[in-house]
Structure 1
Amino acid sequence: MTGPPAPVGLHVLADLDRIDPAVLDDAAGLRTALADALTAAGATVRQVVAEAFEPHGVTVVALLSESHASVHTWPEHGRALVDVFTCGDAADPERAVALLATALGGTVRESRTEARGGTPPVREPIAPGLTRVWDVERPVHRETTPYQRILIAGTAHGVTLFCDDERQSAESTQLVYHEALFVPAALLARDRARVLVIGSSEGVVSELALACGAGHVDHVDLDAAAVRACATHLPYGYDEKALAAAEAHDGPVHVHYADGLQWVRGEGPRYDVIVVDLPDERPDEPDNQLNRLYGRDFLADCRDRLAPGGVVVSQAGNPALWRDATLRAAWARFHEVFGDVVYVGSDEHEWSFLLGRAAGDDAVERMRAALPGLPYRPLSVDDEFLRSRTVPPRRLRTR
């Protein structure tokens, strides 16, 4: 016999900053601002109580039909800590927080959303008119960073990382993906002593680089919160101890929370392998910061930071005919920038990668010859993989 459905809600915890101290000491104004923000976000406000403290500070609590909300202020710091918990679909707690920040004249310094009691399915956009639905068995972590929305949850593929509702990696398939991304590039490069990783917040590529013989890895990622969430909640890649050491530059991996575009521009160390592992390009979102790291100029900057015989590899999209626009665009740009371009299709069929280097010997034969001497033994890349998965789709070969 099936019991009643479990309660399902979203709990937003937010830190608001840069607020006028007088606003944060105005109990009546805070009551009104909170009630108005909640109502505009779809919640039903039943009661609001406020308590002012000496010498300063106010606590406001709202009882909602959907659950509750509260505000706690520190006027001396210009900050307010807010939580909004709503059940059901009528109210949007994230919108309530945003509206409250605007009403108080402040900014959202940090916001985290936790699923309570259950999580609705993730609807992943695949292509225009197509959506894939992921049933979420066990929510682990949910957070809105300054750059993206993160969900780490149990799915049929194990613990899975979603960014902005797009699956980035999953426990059961991530090694197949990351080996296809990194191992061919490591085999093709003349050396692999120094590696640069841009993106790839899970940390798996950094670990593969060390296993393949790298002596130093610079890992550059713009989103510190995403990297730390992955280390805390994913069963692969960095763990918290390894990430702490990498952040402290204590060991061969150095994590830098910086803009990859700026990192490769201009002078700096030369790298044997540069890995660009990011979510797909967003041509329908011209202002999306990801697009900068897919452009021709960025690839040229990466090329110019290579050591002699070095290789750039980038996640390049999906080879399926009905969703290969980013792959075709990347293929054209790589050929504008590099003398030799190599295609690698992952056994995790959703993904393909492009390798760029100066013109040289036969790339596939070079990789096959280097494979037996690689210190790391790949589980999904072997000689037959290198022969078969390096053949581009015909529509790329005939361009």
Structure 2
Amino acid sequence: MNSLGRHILVEFHGCSSEVLNDVPHIEASMLKAAKESGATIISSTFHHFSPFGVSGVVVIQESHLAIHTWPEYRYAAVDLFTCGYSVNPWVSYEILKTEFQAHHGSAVELNRGQLELLEKSDIDLGDLRDTATQKLISPRYSRNVWFTDRNENIALSIRHKGDRIFYEKSPYQSVEIFDTFEYGKMLTVDKMVMCSEKDEKAYHEMIIHVPMLVQPDIRNVLVIGGGDGGSVREILKHEQVESVTMVEIDEAVVRASREYLPTLSAALDDPKLELIIGDGIDFVRQAPDETYDLIVVDSSDPVGPSEGLFSQAFYQDVYRCLRPGGVMTAQSESPRFNQRAFVELNHCLKDIFGVASVHCYLAFIPTYPTGMWGFSFCAKGDRHPVQDLESDRAAQFATAHNLQYYNAGIHQAAFCLPTAIDQMLNG
């Protein structure tokens, strides 16, 4: 041995883009590479960067294995550093090349700490040289794996337990469920947070009870999206509802929610619900005029299969399908995380429903980037979301159903926008 450590700088080319964007797979591959090389694993920390890329490190008793990936280029850069010669980093290299499905790889090995250039000194450890420190204690392995939802300027990271409890790449999108430490089970679509067990009620109670407690005569409801079932659960708390039609494009979302998110999905078996797996845009286009009292657009962000749900043509069909006096609510993005979509959707809805009939309101959802999320209340008529609220009835309803976010005061306050956001929409 003529050096303190071996350092291999690795580049993998032509890898699987899907693998390089998959945090649990990469973490498992890196742990396998460390273990098979003879290393003692101490901890692992991995982050996903939405929409592309993973960074992570496996700390080993003998040093570390680190990685960053660029799925869009099918490229990964890996750093294998081992102290001494008990661990063989080239074993790790071969394992990772296979796991990442690389067409080819290149590596250069450096000897770190050339012994002929170093002078060893005596170190007085003082009180550390006691009996306890002489005992061989196996390090306890800790796992630190993070899901990150981000754009080019803002990121939200949520720590989870490492292994996905559901994953499927459907014809439309990647559907995953993670078990997080702080928020329970969390559903994501294309690496974006959709909902979590702990804070989903803020979203679902506000998108549903705001319109339904303003318009008490809602009988027939259409939900576009909402495959997790949370919106349907809240709708069916209103006894006057006679029928709910839910159109969800991705069966995988429904199946995953049924199995792993029962607190959200229980109402998907209610006899009042007609569940249609299909394209909500096509459904609304073909629906008869003046059919529904309430339409709820419970969509994901405006990418992939949800992109068309942010178009003028879609909302013109929504307007046509509403009965006179009917209302619509839609999730309308974050004024801070996706400002352009937030503003453009608001202007689109005003063009269709009329300026006086469109009202933005806010809720605060910790697992969504920035925590501040927008909704749009639109009326086909003169229904006003604050002036027409019966506060006593809303308060009684919230108490009777043990609502966790919605109450009469929150309903009214949600429409009182911060000055900067009001100027953003009306300036």
In the superposition, the TM-score normalised over structure 2's length comes to 0.61
Q: Which ranges of structure 2 fall in alignment gaps of 5 or more residues? A: 1-38, 46-73, 77-90, 104-142, 366-370
Contact 2:296–2:328 (Cα < 8 Å) also in 1: yes
1:380 corresponds in structure 2 to: 405
- The answer to whether 1:178 aligns with 2:204 is yes
- How far is the alpha carbon of 1:176 from its aligned partner? 1.2
Amino acid at match of 1:346: A
SS in 2 for 1:317: coil
| Distance in 1 of aligned mates of 2:259 and 2:216 | 35
Alignment of 1:280-299 (within 5 A): 280-282=301-303, 288-299=304-315
Q: Which ranges of structure 1 fall in alignment gaps of 5 or more residues? A: 9-39, 43-64, 67-85, 97-117, 283-287
Alignment of 1:3-42 (within 5 A): 4=41
Alignment of 1:53-64 (within 5 A): none
1:347 corresponds in structure 2 to: 364
Contact 2:324–2:381 (Cα < 8 Å) also in 1: no
Amino acid at match of 1:272: D
| Distance in 2 of aligned mates of 1:397 and 1:41 | 41
Which one of the candidate residues 161, 164, 175 is aligned to 1:150? Answer: 175
- How far is the alpha carbon of 1:377 from its aligned partner? 5.2
Percent sequence identity is: 21
- How far is the alpha carbon of 1:368 from its aligned partner? 3.7
Q: Deviations over 1:67-98 (max 9, x none)?
A: xxxxxxxxxxxxxxxxxxx97586336x99xx
Which one of the candidate residues 222, 227, 231 is aligned to 1:205? Answer: 231
- The answer to whether 1:278 aligns with 2:305 is no
Contact 1:41–1:91 (Cα < 8 Å) also in 2: no
1:74 corresponds in structure 2 to: none
1:261 corresponds in structure 2 to: 281
What is the alpha-carbon root mean square deviation over aligned residues? 3.3
Question: Aligned pair in 2 of structure 1 residues 157, 301: CA closer, same or farther (>3 Å)?
Answer: same
Amino acid at match of 1:161: L
Amino acid at match of 2:291: R
2:259 corresponds in structure 1 to: 232
Alignment of 1:157-172 (within 5 A): 157-172=183-198
Contact 2:294–2:322 (Cα < 8 Å) also in 1: yes
1:222 corresponds in structure 2 to: 249
- The answer to whether 1:136 aligns with 2:160 is yes
- How far is the alpha carbon of 1:189 from its aligned partner? 2.7
| Distance in 1 of aligned mates of 2:147 and 2:345 | 28
1:124 corresponds in structure 2 to: 149
| Distance in 1 of aligned mates of 2:144 and 2:246 | 32
Structure exhibiting the larger radius of gyration computed from Cα positions = 2
| Distance in 1 of aligned mates of 2:173 and 2:381 | 38
Contact 2:377–2:385 (Cα < 8 Å) also in 1: no
Amino acid at match of 1:342: H
- How far is the alpha carbon of 1:158 from its aligned partner? 1.2
| Distance in 2 of aligned mates of 1:305 and 1:190 | 19
Which one of the candidate residues 371, 382, 390 is aligned to 2:394? Answer: 371
Q: How many residues align?
A: 293
| Distance in 1 of aligned mates of 2:335 and 2:311 | 19
- The answer to whether 1:324 aligns with 2:347 is no
Amino acid at match of 1:259: D
SS in 2 for 1:177: helix
- How far is the alpha carbon of 1:324 from its aligned partner? 1.8
| Distance in 2 of aligned mates of 1:89 and 1:290 | 36
